[in-house]
Structure formats: structure tokens, C-alpha cells
Structure 1
Amino acid sequence: MVACGGCGTKNFIPSDLPPFQTTPCNKCGHPVMIAVRMRQFELRGVIASGGMGTVFRSWDTMLHREVAVKLMKPELASDPQQVEQFAREARACAGLNHTNIIHIYTFDQHENYKYLVMELADCGTLDGRIEKEGRVEELYVLDVGIRIASALDTALKHNLLHLDIKPGNILFNSEGEPKLVDFGLAQAAEAERKPDDGIFGTPYYIAPERIRDQREDFRSDMYSLAGTLYHALTGRVPFEAPSINEVAMAHVNQPLVPPNEIVTDVSDQTNAAIVCAMSKNPDERYMSYQDFGMALEASRSYLLVKKYRPGY
């Protein structure tokens, strides 16, 4: 019998179920599987799957702690370029010590499987919260924004740009702490993009200068973070269009509809901070993550006073 990681229901699983193959929980439909041992790690259940691989809730039998193991898809493991991108995430995070950046413990290989072992954050994503709630409460959005801006500032001090900030890359642990993940596209802040590098990242939050194939800097990540907060505040992505290419070009050509024109109760302070950070011209955005964080913190403080000291 195997307990479901989603609801805890115990499920009977046939003993001949192949390794890593899942079957839906009898009660909630969450994928369950027979535990698989890889070195000291016991992979017990699927947390999420993506283009690069699958993340498993796992148990470290040596250190007696829960971890997450991200297993690269076998069909990608024979591609050196894909393996390099997978390894880049481990290297990028290895030197970063921040509460709101997921901690990477090791990058290794077992038989034909390449995998990352990292801190467990299995209580959903900001993307999932938006999907569930439609729009997220403003104070909560500000708190997430302040913490992730601080995380990005730490990455910048280590000369790293993330380049794929989006709601799906902000996870939450059991204490509700937001964790920035997926540094697979990260690059050195001074790196020059080659003409054939193409545009990577998520078009719904991508900065205009990246579409124009101009050199990006930390303000490109800031734009994407602000776009992520915009989506959480309003329940809508900053720009919508019939195709991905049209969405991308909208960041360049279309004026941004301010958040408080979509949701009228968004505070003026939060509205101004998001609009500034999403300026088309990087020079018109905040000149540091500290400045952006301070603007979000000022709005948060105002809302807290308004909430707990009405009439003040």
C-alpha cells in the first residue's frame, strides 16, 4: 500500500508497475508510484512535471530529511546541450544563499539518470494560486514581490540574471515562504547574447528589450517580476493576443493597462510601483532592486495601517 502525496489515502499498487510509472490515487487522482531508490535518495511520489523533467518528493536516507529530486527526462540526457542547461541550474544556485531561493544540495548521475537534489517546496506555486483564486490579495502579492526582489538582488550580487521569472517559478514551502526556482536559463549579468541564441523565457512576462534583441540586465528580470505581480493582482497577464509572437510584440508596442484600471481597489502606491517597473524603457524603471523593494514595502505598510488602523 502506498500513501498518496496529495490526500494521504493509501492505494494498492501492482507490484509489476514499472519504475517511475504512476497510477492515479483512488480518491483524489494525484499520481502515486512505488518508491524508487537512487543512491541515498528514495523517490516516493511525483510533485510536478515539466519540459526538462519530473520532480519527486523524496527521502534522504542518510540525513533523514525530505528533499525534492528533479529527474531529467531520459530522452534529453543524451543531448549535451540539454544536460548543460540542466546542470546550469545546479551551478547557478550553488553559490546563492537566500531564504527565497531554492537550495540545491547536489547534482549527480545514477546509472543513466541525471538528477538534481534540492530543498523541498511542495505547497504549490503562485501560478496555481492565481488559477485557484482568480486574483490574489494585494498584501500577499506585495509580500511575495518584496521577497523575490530581494532574492533577485542576491543573485545579481553573484552576477546572475534569472531570465525566466514567472508565477510558475515561484514555489511555496510548508511555511508559506516563496521560493524562486528554475535558474536553468540563468546567465552572467555581463554576458553578451549571440545573434543565434534566440529568445528564451515566457512571453507573457518578457521584457521589451529582450524582444528587440538588445542587451538585457537586471531590469529585465525586474520587468518580468512586475509582470508576474501584475498577473497575481489582476488575474490577467499584462498583454493578451491570439499568438505567442503577438503577445511578445505587445510588450514592445502596446501601452500597459495599469492594474487599477482592471481592478479598481488596487492601491495607488502598488499601481505606481508596478507601472514603473514595467516601463518600456529600462532607464525609466527602478535603478535597483532595493528601490523596487522599498516601493513595494511602502505600499505594504500603507495597506497595513489602513487595515488595522482605519481612519488613521
Structure 2
Amino acid sequence: MKVLNLSELSNKIGIPKNILLDVIEEIRKEELANSLIIDELLIIVENKDISIIERMQKNKNVSLLDLATKFGLSAKILEKILQWMVFKNLISDEWAKRVIENITPLLEVNIDKSEVEVGETLTVTMKIVAQDYIRPAYIDVSHSDGVLPENLPIALEQIAPSEEGYYEILKFKAIYYGINKIEIKLKGKIRDVDFEKVGSCQVTVYPRKPNLKANIYADKLSYGRSANLNIQIANYGAGDAKDIALKNPEKLEEYFEIIQQIPKEQRIPAGEKKDFQIIVSPKKSGNFKIEGLILEFKDMMDRTYFSEPISFETRVETPQPKIDLKVSYPDQAKPNEDIQLNWAFRNFGAEARDVQIKIDFSEGIKLVRGYKDKKWTYLLPGYDEYFSSFIRVERDIEEVIKNIRIKYIDIEGIRHEINLTGQDVGGDKPIKISITEYPSNIGKFRDEVLIGKALKVNFIQVPVQPLQESIKLRDLGLELRSLLGKGGFAATFLAVNKKGESVVVKMPLELYSYIREGVDFSAISKKIVEKFSKEAKILERIHHPHLIKFIDFKKGYAMIVLEYCKNGSLRTLLNSLGRLDLQTALIIAIQTGSALDYLHKNEILHLDIKPSNILFTSDGILKVSDFNIARLMSSEEESKSQGTPGYAAPEQIYKEFGKVGPYTDVFSLAVVLYEMLSGTKPFSVEDYEERVISEVPKPINGIPGELNDILIKALSKNIKDRFKTALEFIDKLTEIYIRYC
């Protein structure tokens, strides 16, 4: 810049020499001889920036100190400039006087840091510049909840005028994340005139930083199967972490298909650990080392962070199919009779493809129909397959199966071959068949071998429900201890008699209510007493190894006392096991049928055969119970019950199918046998009344074909097509037992 003399400068900017001399003198006194300030002043004046002047004049409360601070000049210099601007008609004389006479102090509020973390301290500097005494002076501090003052302004009686100003330093502690405002309000009087000045600053408080470290360990991994990668994440930082995810999942995707990532909504507080699972499916087998996995996560104000790299090693096995092949067969046959071998094939392991089975029979065996070779495109895990082979032999065969070859391809395409013998698929003994005649007397065989014999079954003990307080019936010599069951008409109790023996007491629900309420037993209706008397008379006259044992009838009280069957019911057994093996199911059906045959010969129909009415004593002896709707065949009265849905015969539901008879009990027993062998009822309970007369039961897989035929006959809708007696039915079942069990 060219150096100008006083006259040149006065001419250039249009300021009289006397005013310009005063300005320069003030600049010199205050050591502000800065050419840049003069340059800026020249530009403002020379360009006559009216917009700045207009904005200045709009503020009626602006003080000389405010403007001096704005332009970076001293108040005295600015006062001279304002006088010249009035002279030039750039500002009004009235406004200039108001600015010069306005003695409102200057308040400046400054903060040392605009961003801090929770726990840090920040400093706020307050500066007050007054042109006159402030008496009194009040300083108020307000702030957001995220910051907390550690000290408050000193109480002042007055603030003296000073060019340098009055300073005070305040300390604040950041306690919670967010955007926080600190406001300082100066109030007081100058020359008895009230004023108020407000200054503020803003600080962003960030949460403390989280710091995640993780370890990954894998479950046993198998190729082609989903599994968990267990990841334990610890937060060693001072702040909480959220939105946790893998930053570089491609590191895993090289070896695994990722089915499920870490749930994003998870949050790990500072100092805590959490376990998560990443669900994956291996793409190949082998030993793998995965390195450089990084977790991406955020703090509570959504700032993003990254963990240290994570590495882990794992091994992926190739799962193999686990083939199980079993055969059931009769070990006796008549000469030239077709013998059915029932094969049950199951894959307990991984998927198998191109499965082939080839059965080599020994010499002297002729395959009549069925399979000796079998193929499947693939067998899924847990898949069951059943098929049969019908053979014919002319002499005793000590070893029916010579060899079985099973071939398959695993999921990696490797072919395998398994060689089995007859003993491998038939159990502990070799598969052999003896040519012999059936026992000449089926009934004698059944009575000697099966009837009255205990079942070899792992019974399920069902806990009884003890009464809150036992009920002592001293006149009857009974003490009721537990409630065994309660229906719509009667209740049964476990009781103890005078000898200390456990017995079952059956009584009407009405009587049980009277006992609990202390009402006289004589109040019970005669109709109920007659009904129980009828059941007691039936029980009293029957004696069979597989019928519930009658002990006593308390006539005046309508109580029936029976033996206690500790091992529960067939219903409990089926609920636990689902279905029974062929031998056990046949024994239960034959023993139940033997009891029904005895009843029918004594002119009694049971009419409610079902698993819950077939009980087992502590010795494992089967007992048929519950004669609530039983009736004499000679009785002309209509049955007052349709039986139990799911087990009742068509004629129990619809009169047009005929009268009830022995074949009615045969139908219900056939339903029970079907359920024992298959795990399901032949007719669904839902819409049973419609289904029982319209549907044909599906054959059961894995049992002899002859047994399926017997069941279909016993479950015929028409009573003429059914077995007429229970004896006919169990004779056929006994033949099946002899051949296959």
C-alpha cells in the first residue's frame, strides 16, 4: 500500500484533518497502529456500505462497546468515526448520540471445548466490560441436564468500569451425553437504570467410548448342516455399545453360508459380557482358520467404532448316513406257505443318495413276490421306509439271509458299501424258519402261554393327586387318601382298608359332595344307588384273570371297592411310548379279548373298551375295568351311552346299523390294537360320528399283511362283515402271534 500523508489521507477518505488527527492519536495511544485496520476502515468509508449502516441503525439498544467490539476498535476511536459519519449524513445524529450515551456493559461468554466426553471437565470464561459502575450486580447461571457446574460465580456487590473488563472462570462436569447449552445472565443497575445482558455457549457431550473384544468358538460342525458359531463379546470400554454386527462378513462367507447374524438391537453395557450365536451352514469340509473378522458397533450417540481383529479355527466334518435295517418274520411256517418278511429301513444320519439294497437269500428259498432289491434316489435324515418280501420254503432253514449289501453316496459324492448278515438285521439270533404245523389247539396254546401272564413292559408311574386332608369313613373301614380320577358321573379314590391294603373306591360325584359337606349319606338319590348296584352285581358275578377284581359293595352308600392297579393304564403307556412293538400289542389285545370272550359267554357286554379302561397291576397283569355302561345281553333297555368317540362302534351311534352285541366290543378292541401298532386311531375323533361310517382305515406299515386284513375285518361298518365273537378275533391274533412273535 502507498504511504499517504495526512492531507492526502484526509482528502481520500473525506475526513477533516482535525478529526483524522484525533483518530490517529487514539490509535497511537492504544498501540493499534495496524495498517490492516486502517485499510479496512478506508474500504468501509470509501465504499459507503449503506447496508452495514442500515443494519447498525436498526438496533436501538446497541452500545458503543458493542460496536467497538464488532469492528475491533476502541470505543474512543469509534466515537470519532461516528461523529464523522453524522457529518457525512451517513447516520442520524439522534442514533449516534444514543449509541454513544448507551452505557450497557458488554458480556462475553466463551467455552474452551465445544466437544467433550462424559466425565470430562470444561471451562467457561465470562468477561464483563462496563463503562460505569454496576450497582448491584447479579450473575445467574443456567444449564442443560448433561452438564453440572463445579463452581458458581462469586457474589458481587458491584462491578467497576474497566477497559480490560471483569473476568470469572466457571468449571462444568459433563455427566450425560447430548447437546447442552450453558447460559449466563447479567442483571443490575447502572445510574439507577435496570439492564439485563445474556450470553451463552453450547457444548456437545459424547458418551464414553465402548471397546469390544470377542472370542468365537464353534459347535461340532458338519458339512451341509446348520450350526452355531458361538461368539462371546466383552465390553472393556467406559461406554455402552449397540448395533453390533460383522463389518466384513465376507471373511466368513468364504467358508459358510450365514443364516443368521448377531441381532442388531443388542446392547452391551460397559464392563459386561454377552454370548451370541451366528447361525451358519458350512460350504465345505476340512480344517479352517478364519482371520481378520471385525465387529462394527456404535455408541449411544451413533458414533461408529471397530473391534480388534478376531481369529478362530474350526473343523467341519462330513456327516455320514447311519443306516439301520431290521426285519420281522415268523420263525415257524407250514410247508409251501407264503412267509412274509417285513423290512424296516431307516436313515438316522445325514442325507444318502442313490441308495441300493440287495438281499441274497440262502439256497432253498423262493421269492414269491415283493422285494429282494430296492432303490431310492435319496433318503433324508430320519426317513423311514418299509417293504416286504414274500418267500416260500419246503424245509427247515437255519439261515434265511445269506448277505445284504447296502450302497449309497454321501453328500460329498463318495460311494460307500455296507455288508450285513441275517443276524445284523434280525436281532441277537440268526433268522431261521422251521417248517411245522401250528398247534392243533390254538385256544390251549393261548391259555397256557399268554393268558394270566404278566407283561414285560417298562410301565410309567403316574403320580396320584393326594387329597388336602384324608377322609376317614370309620363305619366302612376305609380312609380315602388320593383322587385317582373324576368323570361326569363318578369319582375314584385310592384308599386304605382296615388291613392297610391299598384299594380303589368308586362313588357317585353326588356322594363325594355330601361327604365333603358333611351331609347325611341317606340323602343320595335312589336312582344313583340303583345304577351303582347294577354295576356291582355285574362285577360280583365275574371272575377272570384279566378282569378287575371286585372286593366289596357298600350298598347303603353306593360305593364299589375294587383292587388297585398301581401300574396305571394303557393310555398312560401309549402317551409315553407313542406305539408298541408287535409282540406286546398282540398280547394286550389277546388278553383283553379273552376277558371280553368270558364276559360275552356270561351274557355281559362291556361297551366302553378303550386304553384308559385297560389297567395294569403292580405285577404287570392286565385288567379290564369300568363297567359303568356295561349291560346284560338279555336287557331290552337302550344303552344310555354311545361309548367313547374314537372307539365306539357304528351301531352304538346309529340305530340303523343294528343292535349292540359281542361284535361291538370286538370293534372297540380292534381300534385299540390299531392305535397300539400305529400310534394313531383309525378314525379321527374330530367329526367321529361321520368318519366312522364313511372312511376305511389305512393299512399300517411295518406289520404283517395278514394282520392288516384282520384289522380291516374287525373294523367293518357292517356287523355282518365283522368277527361275530371276541373268540374268533383273538384266535386270528393268536395265529399271528405264533408266526411272527
Question: TM-score, normalised to structure 2's length?
Answer: 0.34
Residue of structure 2 in register with 1:35 after alignment = 470
Match of 2:559 among 110, 115, 126: 115
Residue of structure 2 in register with 1:273 after alignment = 710
| CA distance in 1 between partners of 2:711 and 2:528 (Å) | 34
| CA distance in 1 between partners of 2:506 and 2:580 (Å) | 28
Matched, 1:295 2:732: yes
Shift of 1:109: 5.5
Considering fraction of residues, name the structure with more helix.
1
Distance 1:52 1:215, change over 3 A: same
Superposed CA offset, 1:140-196 (max 9, x none): 1111110111101111111110111111111111111111111111111133344xx
Runs of 4+ in structure 1 over 4 Å off: none
Residue of structure 1 in register with 2:612 after alignment = 168
Residue of structure 2 in register with 1:70 after alignment = 506
Give structure 1 stretches of 5+ with no counterpart: 1-27, 305-312
Amino acid across the alignment from 1:279: S
| CA distance in 2 between partners of 1:96 and 1:210 (Å) | 24
Structure label with greater radius of gyration: 2
Question: TM-score, normalised to structure 1's length?
Answer: 0.78
Match of 2:645 among 203, 208, 220: 203
Match of 1:254 among 683, 688, 695: 695
| CA distance in 2 between partners of 1:155 and 1:124 (Å) | 23
Aligned residues: 265
Aligned to 1:107, what secondary structure does the other structure show? strand
| CA distance in 2 between partners of 1:256 and 1:278 (Å) | 8
Within-5 A mapping of 1:210-289: 210-213=652-655, 214-240=658-684, 242=686, 246-258=687-699, 260=700, 264-289=701-726
Aligned to 1:204, what secondary structure does the other structure show? coil
Amino acid across the alignment from 1:138: L
Shift of 1:265: 1.1
Amino acid across the alignment from 2:698: V
8 Å contact from structure 2 (residues 609, 665) kept in 1 = yes
Superposed CA offset, 1:115-162 (max 9, x none): 110111121111111111111222111111101111011111111101
- Of stretches 279-288 and 74-83 in structure 1, the one that deviates more from structure 2 is 74-83
Considering fraction of residues, name the structure with more strand.
2
Residue of structure 1 in register with 2:182 after alignment = none
- Of stretches 159-168 and 266-275 in structure 1, the one that deviates more from structure 2 is 266-275
Distance 1:29 1:177, change over 3 A: closer
Distance 1:31 1:209, change over 3 A: closer
Residue of structure 1 in register with 2:216 after alignment = none
Distance 1:255 1:107, change over 3 A: same
Shift of 1:255: 1.8
Distance 1:215 1:109, change over 3 A: closer
Over the matched positions of the two proteins, sequence identity in percent amounts to 29
Matched, 1:52 2:496: no
**Alpha-carbon RMSD:** 2.3
Aligned to 1:37, what secondary structure does the other structure show? strand
| CA distance in 2 between partners of 1:157 and 1:29 (Å) | 37
8 Å contact from structure 2 (residues 570, 614) kept in 1 = yes
| CA distance in 1 between partners of 2:605 and 2:571 (Å) | 21
Amino acid across the alignment from 1:208: P
8 Å contact from structure 1 (residues 101, 181) kept in 2 = yes
Within-5 A mapping of 1:79-158: 79-108=525-554, 114-158=558-602
Aligned to 1:216, what secondary structure does the other structure show? coil
Amino acid across the alignment from 1:128: T
Shift of 1:208: 1.4
| CA distance in 2 between partners of 1:189 and 1:142 (Å) | 27
| CA distance in 2 between partners of 1:203 and 1:71 (Å) | 24
8 Å contact from structure 2 (residues 508, 528) kept in 1 = no
| CA distance in 2 between partners of 1:273 and 1:124 (Å) | 29
Distance 1:80 1:255, change over 3 A: farther
8 Å contact from structure 2 (residues 547, 624) kept in 1 = yes
Amino acid across the alignment from 1:32: P
Superposed CA offset, 1:196-219 (max 9, x none): x55421121111122221211100
- Of stretches 73-82 and 125-134 in structure 1, the one that deviates more from structure 2 is 73-82
| CA distance in 2 between partners of 1:131 and 1:200 (Å) | 24
Residue of structure 2 in register with 1:6 after alignment = none
| CA distance in 1 between partners of 2:535 and 2:525 (Å) | 16
| CA distance in 2 between partners of 1:225 and 1:300 (Å) | 17
- Of stretches 286-295 and 158-167 in structure 1, the one that deviates more from structure 2 is 286-295
| CA distance in 2 between partners of 1:85 and 1:160 (Å) | 16
Q: Comparing both chains, which one has the higher relative contact order based on Cα–Cα distances under 8 Å and sequence gaps of 6 or more? A: 1
